[in-house]
Protein backbone atom coordinates (compact mmCIF):
# COMPACT_ATOMS: atom_id res chain seq x y z
CA UNK A 1 0.00 0.00 0.00
CA UNK A 2 1.25 3.46 -0.90
CA UNK A 3 0.21 6.53 1.08
CA UNK A 4 0.96 9.75 -0.80
CA UNK A 5 0.98 12.55 1.76
CA UNK A 6 1.53 15.00 -1.12
CA UNK A 7 -2.12 14.32 -1.99
CA UNK A 8 -3.39 14.81 1.58
CA UNK A 9 -4.71 18.16 2.72
CA UNK A 10 -3.06 19.69 5.78
CA UNK A 11 -5.33 20.67 8.64
CA UNK A 12 -4.53 23.25 11.30
CA UNK A 13 -5.54 22.28 14.81
CA UNK A 14 -5.67 24.90 17.57
CA UNK A 15 -5.00 23.77 21.14
CA UNK A 16 -4.76 20.01 20.51
CA UNK A 17 -5.86 18.19 23.70
CA UNK A 18 -6.13 21.58 25.44
CA UNK A 19 -2.56 22.49 24.53
CA UNK A 20 -1.37 25.90 23.40
CA UNK A 21 -0.91 27.46 19.99
CA UNK A 22 -1.46 25.49 16.81
CA UNK A 23 -0.25 22.43 15.00
CA UNK A 24 -0.56 21.43 11.37
CA UNK A 25 -1.01 17.81 10.33
CA UNK A 26 -1.72 15.49 7.43
CA UNK A 27 -3.36 12.26 8.53
CA UNK A 28 -3.74 8.71 7.35
CA UNK A 29 -6.21 6.73 9.49
CA UNK A 30 -6.70 2.98 9.22
CA UNK A 31 -7.98 0.14 11.40
CA UNK A 32 -4.52 -0.62 12.72
CA UNK A 33 -3.62 2.98 13.54
CA UNK A 34 -2.61 6.35 12.15
CA UNK A 35 0.36 7.93 10.41
CA UNK A 36 0.59 11.67 10.99
CA UNK A 37 3.32 13.95 9.66
CA UNK A 38 2.80 17.01 11.85
CA UNK A 39 4.25 20.33 12.92
CA UNK A 40 3.86 21.91 16.34
CA UNK A 41 4.46 25.58 15.64
CA UNK A 42 6.69 27.75 17.86
CA UNK A 43 5.06 28.31 21.24
CA UNK A 44 2.63 25.44 20.71
CA UNK A 45 1.96 22.22 22.56
CA UNK A 46 -0.20 19.12 22.57
CA UNK A 47 -1.85 18.93 25.99
CA UNK A 48 -1.82 15.99 28.37
CA UNK A 49 -3.80 13.02 27.12
CA UNK A 50 -3.87 9.27 27.74
CA UNK A 51 -3.42 6.50 25.19
CA UNK A 52 -5.98 3.90 26.25
CA UNK A 53 -5.75 1.60 23.22
CA UNK A 54 -2.56 2.47 21.36
CA UNK A 55 1.15 3.20 21.39
CA UNK A 56 2.08 6.69 20.16
CA UNK A 57 5.48 6.89 18.43
CA UNK A 58 6.85 10.38 17.71
CA UNK A 59 10.03 10.66 15.63
CA UNK A 60 11.53 14.16 15.55
CA UNK A 61 12.53 15.37 12.07
CA UNK A 62 13.53 18.90 13.12
CA UNK A 63 13.18 21.43 15.89
CA UNK A 64 13.39 21.18 19.66
CA UNK A 65 10.85 20.21 22.26
CA UNK A 66 10.00 18.35 25.41
CA UNK A 67 7.71 15.43 26.11
CA UNK A 68 6.42 14.53 29.55
CA UNK A 69 5.27 10.92 29.77
CA UNK A 70 3.91 9.60 33.07
CA UNK A 71 5.77 12.43 34.83
CA UNK A 72 9.14 11.78 33.14
CA UNK A 73 10.63 14.63 31.07
CA UNK A 74 12.28 13.78 27.76
CA UNK A 75 14.08 16.38 25.66
CA UNK A 76 13.42 16.16 21.94
CA UNK A 77 15.63 17.10 18.99
CA UNK A 78 16.14 15.89 15.43
CA UNK A 79 16.79 12.16 15.36
CA UNK A 80 15.19 11.35 18.73
CA UNK A 81 12.02 9.33 19.19
CA UNK A 82 9.49 9.63 22.01
CA UNK A 83 7.19 6.65 22.61
CA UNK A 84 4.10 6.85 24.79
CA UNK A 85 3.00 3.28 25.45
CA UNK A 86 -0.57 2.05 25.76
CA UNK A 87 -2.00 3.05 29.15
CA UNK A 88 0.37 6.01 29.57
CA UNK A 89 -0.31 9.73 29.33
CA UNK A 90 1.86 12.40 27.81
CA UNK A 91 2.14 15.88 26.37
CA UNK A 92 4.55 17.37 23.83
CA UNK A 93 5.76 20.99 23.82
CA UNK A 94 7.70 22.96 21.26
CA UNK A 95 10.44 24.64 23.31
CA UNK A 96 12.31 26.18 20.40
CA UNK A 97 11.97 29.28 18.23
CA UNK A 98 11.18 27.25 15.09
CA UNK A 99 8.68 24.53 14.20
CA UNK A 100 8.90 21.13 15.88
CA UNK A 101 8.35 18.66 13.03
CA UNK A 102 7.34 15.10 13.90
CA UNK A 103 6.36 11.91 12.17
CA UNK A 104 3.81 10.32 14.50
CA UNK A 105 2.71 6.70 14.18
CA UNK A 106 -0.19 5.52 16.35
CA UNK A 107 -0.36 1.73 16.62
CA UNK A 108 -3.63 0.27 17.91
CA UNK A 109 -3.27 -2.82 20.08
Ranges of each domain in the chain = 12-108
- The class (CATH top level) of 12-108 is mainly beta
Q: pLDDT tens-digit profile of 68-106?
A: 999 999 999 999 999 999 999 999 999 999 999 999 999
What is the rounded CA–CA span in Å between residue 35 and residue 17?
A: 18
pLDDT given at position 74: 98
* Amino acid 90: pLDDT: 98
The secondary structure of residue 85, as a DSSP letter, is -
Q: Mean pLDDT over residues 35-43, rounded? A: 97
For the chain, the residue count is 109
Give the pLDDT confidence of 9-24 residue by residue, as tens digits.
999 999 999 999 999 9
pLDDT at 94: 98
pLDDT value at residue 34: 97
Amino acid sequence: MLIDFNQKEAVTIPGMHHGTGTMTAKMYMGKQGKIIPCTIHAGGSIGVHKHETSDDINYVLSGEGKAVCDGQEEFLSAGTCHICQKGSEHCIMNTGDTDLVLLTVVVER
